[in-house]
């Protein structure tokens, strides 16, 4: 309908603004902050895409989504076809449209930057398409697949984005897939980490229901390596195993007072609120409330924790970060939303000690003032202590969000896996096969803490490789 639009007209269209709940209202509730584009907004934003012959945006997408193609279909209001393009490469577009760091990926490579204009809102459009397409009919196990696959049992350890994407791709290929999850809920960080105000559970549940409809079985409350061993899986006839057990082990700073009551990890805080209902008035083990809550760190997890603290009534919800805002790894959008919601940013401060009261409850935090030095291995300017610049502030709760390490259970329990000194499982980068030929691994257990889209991409890659291996084995029989 807009074939006649010239590039100069497309370029003249301003980038769309996502409708959002007002900060005052949303900082007291769990409703999703970003409300999604209207149809009119989405179609207009799609017109901005110049359909570049060499789309650099695609180079910025870890799974290579056909970005101009899905946007062109969106512009033509062919939403189901646009969704089909997304689904070719991304198993969870409604999730990625919400949580992918597009500003560092696809949108950072948009041609509009060269024109000194804001990039096309690729993430917003992805979300619009995923949310507004008609539900797809569930994939039938064995549909169009070589016979015999439905007798091949495949186990998946962990139900985060890596495991879900692997499971979906193997089910599509006709295998008999079972996902084992340690927690009582399916979804990994998508459920236990990222709060509902950023990623509603219903969005994740749609994807889980699709997988169930495709025949994927889920076993919850089952810790592989404890409840069931590597041998148990093999004796149950699982011929291939994909490990997507994530990086759920919180790091601490190992400073004085860190074991005081009221100092906890962001993982514990978020899991207890998101998954255990610890913020409900009738909770058996209620979450730690406080008026002055300090969250240590500058990543997405820190922002999720501090914004949760604000919603749970903290009058002073503070981010304490040892570098400046420019170096923060969190998504820009999250930093912006946190500020709008009244979060206080104490940049260039590093905690060196916690002080408690006679009951062992944290009461104060001693902070070292920092300045920025030369860039370090991460490419970011490194924080340096300013001599004698020490401050002490009152706090009721400290939440430590300084990164995570791989879950050690699988690396310890599976004999024969190669494990790096960081605790990650070592894989062949070409096909994600581990040192054990029938076991593949991907997501955070291989990368350390990374992103949803990278975890999903790993699940897809491992599924393709395992399928090839099993198919070859079958043809040799
Ligand atoms: C609070 C928070 C916010 C984040 N925000 C973003 C964001 O905005 N954008 C983004 O791209 N990324 C974000 N990330 C990172 C992203 O969520 C992860 O990189 C991604 O979830 C990794 O996926 P995964 O499948 O490898 O692992 P996970 O999502 O961690 O899933 C692993 C699953 O395996 C289960 N498991 C572990 N061990 C076993 C076992 N032995 N047996 C059975 N099950 C087991 C765990 O319980 C878990 O459910 C965030 C992370 C956190 C913690």
Query: Residue 53 carries which DSSP code?
Result: S
For residues 39 and 41, what is the distance between their CA atoms, to the nearest angstrom?
A: 5
Q: Tell me: the pLDDT tens digits for 116-131?
A: 999 999 999 999 999 9
Residue ranges of domains in the chain? 7-132, 149-248+406-476, 250-404
**Ligand 1 mean position to 329 CA, how many Å?**
17
How much is the average pLDDT of 208-214?
91
For residues 225 and 237, what is the distance between their CA atoms, to the nearest angstrom?
A: 17
| SS3 of residue 151 by DSSP | helix
Q: What six digits make up the tokens of 96? A: 């990625």
Closest CA to 320 of 225, 255, 378, 405: 255
Closest CA to 208 of 194, 188, 228: 188
Indicate the burial class of 304 (C-beta count within 10 angstroms; 0-12, 13-18, 19 or more).
buried
For residues 308 and 88, what is the distance between their CA atoms, to the nearest angstrom?
A: 35
Supply the pLDDT for residue 88.
86
Name the pLDDT band for 376 (thresholds 50, 70, 90).
Answer: confident
Tokens 């577009």 locate to 93
Q: Tell me: the pLDDT tens digits for 2-42?
A: 457 899 999 999 999 999 999 999 999 999 999 999 999 99
**Ligand 1 mean position to 271 CA, how many Å?**
12
CATH number corresponding to 250-404? 3.50.50.60
CB 405 within 8 A of CB 425: no
Tokens 């984005």 locate to 161
Name the pLDDT band for 145 (thresholds 50, 70, 90).
Answer: low
Q: Which CATH architecture has domain 149-248+406-476?
A: 3-Layer(bba) Sandwich (3.50)
Supply the pLDDT for residue 205.
94
DSSP states of 56-85 as a string? Answer: HHHHT-TT---HHHHHHHHHTT-HHHHHHH
β-bridge partners, 132: none
Same fold, 149-248+406-476 and 250-404: yes
Supply the pLDDT for residue 52.
95
Ligand 1 atom having least distance to the Cα of 183: 47
Supply the pLDDT for residue 380.
83
Beta strand 238-243 with 249-250 is unpaired
Name the pLDDT band for 379 (thresholds 50, 70, 90).
Answer: confident
**Which residues have any ligand 1 atom within 6 Å of their CB?**
99-101, 157-163, 180-183, 188-189, 193-194, 223-225, 244-246, 248, 270, 300-301, 304, 331, 407, 409-410, 443-445, 449-453, 455
Tokens 């236990």 locate to 192
Q: Tell me: the pLDDT tens digits for 234-278?
A: 999 999 999 999 999 999 999 999 999 999 999 999 999 999 888
For residues 425 and 411, what is the distance between their CA atoms, to the nearest angstrom?
A: 7
Supply the pLDDT for residue 140.
47
How much is the average pLDDT of 466-476?
89
Nearest residue (CA) to ligand 1, atom 35: 158
Q: Tell me: the pLDDT tens digits for 300-311?
A: 999 999 999 999
Q: Which CATH superfamily is domain 7-132 in?
A: Alpha-helical ferredoxin (1.10.1060.10)
């Amino acid at each position: 309908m807009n074939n006649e639009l010239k590039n100069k007209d497309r370029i003249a269209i301003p980038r769309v603004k996502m409708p959002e709940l007002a900060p005052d209202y949303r900082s007291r509730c769990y409703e999703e902050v970003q409300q999604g584009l209207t149809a009119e907004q989405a179609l207009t934003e799609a017109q901005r895409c110049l359909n570049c012959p060499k789309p650099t945006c695609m180079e910025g997408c870890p799974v290579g989504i056909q970005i101009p193609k899905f946007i062109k279909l969106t512009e033509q209001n062919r939403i189901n076809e646009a969704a089909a393009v997304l689904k070719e490469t991304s198993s969870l577009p409604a999730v990625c449209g919400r949580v992918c760091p597009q500003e560092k990926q696809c949108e950072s490579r948009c041609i509009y930057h060269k024109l000194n204009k804001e990039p096309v809102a690729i993430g917003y459009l992805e979300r619009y398409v995923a949310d507004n397409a008609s539900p797809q009919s569930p994939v039938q196990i064995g549909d169009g697949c070589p016979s015999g696959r439905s007798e091949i049992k495949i186990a998946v350890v962990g139900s985060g984005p890596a495991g879900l994407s692997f499971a979906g791709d193997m089910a599509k290929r006709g295998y008999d897939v079972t996902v084992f999850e340690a927690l009582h809920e399916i979804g990994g960080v998508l459920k236990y980490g990222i709060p509902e105000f950023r990623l509603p559970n219903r969005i994740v549940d749609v994807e889980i229901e699709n997988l169930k409809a495709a025949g994927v079985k889920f076993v919850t409350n089952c810790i592989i390596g404890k409840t069931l061993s590597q041998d148990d899986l093999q004796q149950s006839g699982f011929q291939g195993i994909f490990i997507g057990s994530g990086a759920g082990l919180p790091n601490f700073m190992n400073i004085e007072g860190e074991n005081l009551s009221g100092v906890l990890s962001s993982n514990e805080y978020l899991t207890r609120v998101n998954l255990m209902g610890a913020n409900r008035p009738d909770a058996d083990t209620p979450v730690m409330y406080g008026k002055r809550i300090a969250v240590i760190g500058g990543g997405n997890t820190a922002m999720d924790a501090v914004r949760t603290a604000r919603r749970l009534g903290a009058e002073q919800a503070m981010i304490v970060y040892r570098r400046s805002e420019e170096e923060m790894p969190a998504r820009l959008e999250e930093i912006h939303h946190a500020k709008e919601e009244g979060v206080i940013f104490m940049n260039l401060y590093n905690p060196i000690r916690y002080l408690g009261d006679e009951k062992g409850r944290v009461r104060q935090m001693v902070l070292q003032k920092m300045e920025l030095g030369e860039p370090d291995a991460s490419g970011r300017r490194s924080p340096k202590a300013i001599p004698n610049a020490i401050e002490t502030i009152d706090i009721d709760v400290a939440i430590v969000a300084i990164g995570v390490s791989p879950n050690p259970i699988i690396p310890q329990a599976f004999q024969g896996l190669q494990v790096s000194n960081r605790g990650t499982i070592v894989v062949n980068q070409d096909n994600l096969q581990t040192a054990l030929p029938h076991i593949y691994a991907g997501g955070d257990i291989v990368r350390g803490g990374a992103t949803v889209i990278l975890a999903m991409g790993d699940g897809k890659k491992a599924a393709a490789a395992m399928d090839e291996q099993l198919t070859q084995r079958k043809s040799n029989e």
